[in-house]
Chains A and B, each alone.
Chain A
Amino acid sequence: MYVLIVGAGKVGWNLARELIERGHEVTLVESNRGRYATVEEELGHCVQAGDGSELWVLERAGIERADMVIAATGDDEDNILISQVGREKYGVERIIARCNNPRNFQHFELLGVKPVVSATDLILRLIEHEVPKYGPLHLLDLHQERLEIIELDVDEGSSAAGSRVEDVGLPDGALVISILRGGAGFVPTGESVIEGGDEVLLVLDPGLEDSVTGFFTSAAGTRAA
């Protein structure tokens, strides 16, 4: 596979090294001369100096025959632009864009750039996973499919605790897809009984999260805010 990576920062450089080790053909484009010189010492001819948002630089780097383009600069506007011309002008089939500021994610989406990888976002999710006592945990937003998957702790004394799945009274568009108990998980049927202390995974239509959370928290409000 021929992979073109724009931006030889920590992300781009390490990616290039990994991909080369796995036997792929890689070109890395870097605009900063000093950075280019540093990276060139290790990667040699695999790195080219130039502004990767200039079309001739992309063409010189062989974008027209690239199987994949990774826009990994530290600048979101540059990454959006590189992704856009990569796909729409040069017909590259696989594009991956780095999003530096999660607030810019919506701009990537608006302009049809996907998939988008945001380190900040990934780390935030890890933190949520490691520190889960703050309400429902967003496991996955399926933007295109318009679905969300969330994880909830079942409080003792909540309306769901001790109740069969089909009797909980969840709204349409909310489905319990897994119950985690004592370190193991299973896929429930309507008759499965939810117990206090369980963790449940639910798939939801967007916007149902708040109304669904109430079924699993106790009225006593023992949870951390």
Chain B
Amino acid sequence: MFIVIVGCGRVGSAVAKSMLSGGHDVSVIDEDPEAIALLEKGQDRSWEELGGSFTVGTALELDALLEAGIERADAFVVSTDGDNTNLVVAQIAQRRFEVPKVVVRVLDPARAKWYREQGLSTICPTQTAIELLEEAVLDGVGDRQEVA
């Protein structure tokens, strides 16, 4: 599978590395040329030598998307630090380039929920954290007995 990933922060880079070692072709876009360091951290070879590719650019630039290979992408992952950027780029991938699988990270639960209802595959880490925290807090705990 050929995967294009926009946003090479902690999340994007980790997904990219894991997909590449899982045998997939991976192309990463980030506006910061230094971001490639995250892909190479702990590796003994460069990202390109490992078989990945990296494009410098912002995701609203069609040139950057095209250079990264969006037209032949089987899957598209958007994980920059801007919710609105992510939502716009994801829709460009879906509507303009008709990428079969588009997954987008949205930190704000409200926007994530509404756009999911509109047919985008949104992942909301905040919502996940809320649920995990609630679950962890309530797990096996009752009201504390008063100490005499």
A residues contacting B by CB (< 8 A) are 53-56, 75-78, 80-81, 85, 88-89, 103-104, 106-107, 110-111
CB neighbours of B87 from chain A (8 A):
77, 81
User: What CA separation (Å) do A218 and B78 show in the bound complex?
Assistant: 53
Q: How large is the interface on B (under 10, 10 to 19, 20 to 34, 35 or more residues)?
A: 10 to 19
A-B contact count (CB 8 A): 44
**CA A76 to CA B85, docked complex, whole Å:** 9
Partner of B110, one of A56, A103, A110: A56
Within 8 A of A (CB), among B13-64: 60-62
Spell out B's residues near A (CB within 8 Å): 60-62, 82-85, 87-88, 91-92, 95-96, 108, 110-111, 114, 118
Question: Quick check: A80 and B114 within 8 Å, CB to CB?
Answer: no
A78 and B84 in contact, given A54-B108, A56-B110, A104-B60 (Cβ under 8 angstroms):
yes
CA distance A104 to B96 in the complex (A): 14
A-B residue pairs, 5 tightest by C-beta: A77-B84, A81-B84, A55-B110, A77-B85, A77-B88
Contact A110 B96, CB 8 Å, known A75-B84, A76-B60: yes
Instruction: Contact check, A77 vs B82: say whether CB atoms are below 8 A apart.
Output: yes
Contact A85 B83 (CB under 8 A): no
Residues of A within 8 A of B96 (CB): 110
Report the Cα distance A56→B110, complex, angstroms. Answer: 8
Bound-state Cα–Cα, A77 to B83, Å: 9
A106 and B62 alpha carbons, distance in the complex (Å)? 10
